[in-house]
Structure 1
């Protein structure tokens, strides 16, 4: 590891702001960043060789050190994915991104390139099919908390998450969970390089939301990732969203038959990402949610249920929680197809734990919109998160549990405290210019105070391994939970009735 030696090549103006070039020497080579508004940013740094050609579905390789100074001025390409907006409209409002299979890059924000600051590595969500690190600018958190912030891009969709290794065992061109291995390589890069950015490689917090939180859980329970972090934050996601290995093999068989693969595995290297997605969608029709998910591969993960994996997690300080109405996002928006009626939700429980458990749990929820939101939230998000927190707390790890009850005020207001509503409260510039969909267009002093409190807790955890004052540790004898809203409250075991009835229901996605 090498410390950065700051060099100022020249200054200028960009978007009306003074911009100063900053040059450092790191293990990956010489990099040039830009100081803007009190933060030095290094964008689009390649951490892995391009996963193209024969490497499309393979384990990632570290990027060779730069032979010439790398100008880290622009975000790298995001992984191929479906754009949520037509390209002309996206360009018009300034949210257009470049997509490429050569997508393994990361971004670093730091107050100064000298020093020894705590490091926050945030893994983006998006159901393993959408998203990019650039949606989570780290300027505000780096400045506010005097920390180094890192975000990354990783392979998505069937390129990053597929069961092809089950179809073609022994072919090193196919590896399970390539997108998660990309993330691990990025974490390794952070360990080896972050000191040059003023960061402390011995104080790294990994964090993520939704699929990013599921990813954090994977890093917590897989031996290969455990050397690269020291604290963890899980927002709205746990291990239950993996496929079990048998389900992965079923999906692999459906893909092979529906896509006409047979022994023609080479076709998988010639299909465009769009054609690959369309062919898979036609091949796998009996399915809820997205086809491309991580799965229990029998090597990195060997377990019959999420609970069996949770007890193997690295014992680190853990901040974990969910939003009150997570499932409304999936009922109200057609982004990810999920069966949302009560019968389908009960069927998932029955698959895991039998008819008696399904009937017992179904009685907790009314068969109306509010009841279905509560049922889906508990099934997919809250109860798995409580179970993960229980496992860590039982082993003596410092755990801090929360529930966010603050309701969206913009176009998403009918969804309540929905999935992802925490993100604009943590990241000042999250997904601009779409923030108003969550926050509304009018100033809201109480919401701003809530955001400031949450950021203070998150940054305190990154710095010291515990939130700010007033948030006690979670233990299984009390289950003290921080309820975030316009007025916060600490409540013991707020989901006690549901939690007790869900006890023992444990299974992977189907």
Structure 2
């Protein structure tokens, strides 16, 4: 029996809620209409990856026999809590964690019709985050598109080298979290028409780890059937570990976790114990243990530049913020090397001592110099290289750099990593988005946000952003510089780009 509409109070004020029922390939579902958008939250797309399946290839969820009430977000993958629980719930940050985490969320203006689809993959360094942090109501209504977010396995549950140290054991697969994402994309292809979406017009997008994920789907041929366009925000293939590094980490885990007699203990430890074990394994090195790596099954032996040239031939928006690395130099969020000497050694491992010394001379040793060095090493130069190679292969590429500086508690960080998120997602981190945008109304920031959303939505609908944003070609490298006043600049990092040219490889 259909329930009567009710009024509820949410972060955007009062709204009337009514039920919407659909039949999809996954079975019958019940969503809720909130104002002009219908929400279907917490839909399981994969079977529970628990027990002997906790590190294995994901399996598609069996069809529902009874209507599934998709009224609330599903639990996120186990992870360390970054905010106290009451605040996490208010900010829609991961409030509940469970290994049974393979669910997704859909926002649609209506369940009839055939709209373009935006699938946004959350970031968080492959160790934190959830799809619930990116409410799709505003983008769905503004652009008349269907928006999808997902949860996938994180930490050692989703990213580990166990397939390298226990070869042939089907309980382990490389980059399980990325395979979770692929399974979610397959679910979108098979089901999104029932939500008013067009499975032939899917754009995959992501920020940070989500952007790295999009890069993987671009080069992994088994993901190619599931999307038609791509958006990469702050992250490329260079952030994958190489296979040798993965094996080194695997050997350390084998010793530190007591796995010399076999992998049995991995199925006995709780998620918290797995997190503790991974932290203990890197006391003698910098970096994240649970990180995707360039496995032989999806990547072969190619380096990032060659992979970018062979990526799926689709239109691409790609870019970074100007001061990405300030988030990591000033806030201890991830165990990354932030000293100039450490970063110089990274370049040396990739390109040799002479090149590393030449690169290091480009950057002063003060805080601003370290931020610029880290931004170029980890984000900006790999992004330019990916854009160059994708464009050289004959694809339409649209390059950007975001120069808008945070105005809230993050104001000292400038145009830092993740500052694009509150500009694109109206409800990102509400009611705490003031840490990025400040407490006072800011008409210029509001107009920037409007412009960026319109460009992204135009790309989702038509395969290109607004008419004032030219395509990127390696001969000119025209780049959209987003700020309080946008401008087009040809080759904005020319001097440093030339110095970095040819430096290629995975994280070491």
Report what 2:477 is aligned to: 479
**Distance in 1 (alpha carbons) for counterparts of 2:285 and 2:180:** 26
Report what 1:350 is aligned to: 348
**Distance in 2 (alpha carbons) for counterparts of 1:324 and 1:341:** 19
The 5 A counterparts of 1:12-51 are 12-15=6-9, 16-51=14-49
The 5 A counterparts of 1:215-254 are 215-254=213-252
Residues 1:107 and 2:101 aligned together: no
Report what 1:53 is aligned to: 51
**1:206–1:232 contact (8 Å) kept in structure 2:** yes
Residues 1:187 and 2:164 aligned together: no
The alpha-carbon deviation at position 341 of structure 1 amounts to: 1.1
Report what 2:275 is aligned to: 277
**Distance in 2 (alpha carbons) for counterparts of 1:111 and 1:323:** 31
Residues 1:327 and 2:321 aligned together: no
**Distance in 2 (alpha carbons) for counterparts of 1:442 and 1:491:** 31
Q: In the alignment, which of 1, 5, 9 is matched to residue 11 of structure 1? A: 5
Q: Residues 265 and 89 from structure 1, CA distance in 2 versus in 1: closer, same or farther, beyond 3 angstroms? A: same
Deviations 1:107-163 (A, max 9, x none): 000000000100000000000000000000000000000000000000000000000
Q: Residues 209 and 89 from structure 1, CA distance in 2 versus in 1: closer, same or farther, beyond 3 angstroms? A: closer
Deviations 1:459-506 (A, max 9, x none): 000000000120000001100000000000000000001111100111
Between Structure 1 and Structure 2, how many residues are aligned?
504
**1:307–1:388 contact (8 Å) kept in structure 2:** yes
Deviations 1:89-120 (A, max 9, x none): 54577756110000000000000000010000
The 5 A counterparts of 1:100-499 are 100-499=98-497
**1:482–1:491 contact (8 Å) kept in structure 2:** yes
Deviations 1:334-370 (A, max 9, x none): 1101121111111100000001110111111111111
**Distance in 2 (alpha carbons) for counterparts of 1:77 and 1:357:** 46
**Which stretch has the larger CA shift, 123-132 or 274-283?**
274-283
Report what 1:3 is aligned to: none
**Distance in 2 (alpha carbons) for counterparts of 1:119 and 1:323:** 25
Q: Residues 94 and 488 from structure 1, CA distance in 2 versus in 1: closer, same or farther, beyond 3 angstroms? A: closer
Give the alignment's Cα RMSD to 1 decimal: 1.2
**Distance in 1 (alpha carbons) for counterparts of 2:439 and 2:423:** 15
The alpha-carbon deviation at position 88 of structure 1 amounts to: 5.1
Shift >6 Å, 4+ stretches:
none
Task: Give the gaps of 5 or more residues in structure 2.
Answer: none
Deviations 1:259-318 (A, max 9, x none): 111123111011111111111211222322311100011111112421121122001000
Please give the secondary structure, in 2, of the residue aligned with 1:206: strand
Report what 1:509 is aligned to: 507
**Which stretch has the larger CA shift, 204-213 or 10-19?**
10-19
The 5 A counterparts of 1:64-103 are 64-87=62-85, 89-90=87-88, 97-103=95-101
**1:103–1:155 contact (8 Å) kept in structure 2:** yes
Deviations 1:213-242 (A, max 9, x none): 000000000011000000000000000110
Q: Residues 465 and 88 from structure 1, CA distance in 2 versus in 1: closer, same or farther, beyond 3 angstroms? A: closer
**1:8–1:23 contact (8 Å) kept in structure 2:** no
Task: Give the gaps of 5 or more residues in structure 1.
Answer: 1-6
TM-score by length of 2: 0.98
Q: Residues 91 and 314 from structure 1, CA distance in 2 versus in 1: closer, same or farther, beyond 3 angstroms? A: closer
Q: Residues 454 and 56 from structure 1, CA distance in 2 versus in 1: closer, same or farther, beyond 3 angstroms? A: same
**Distance in 1 (alpha carbons) for counterparts of 2:199 and 2:93:** 33
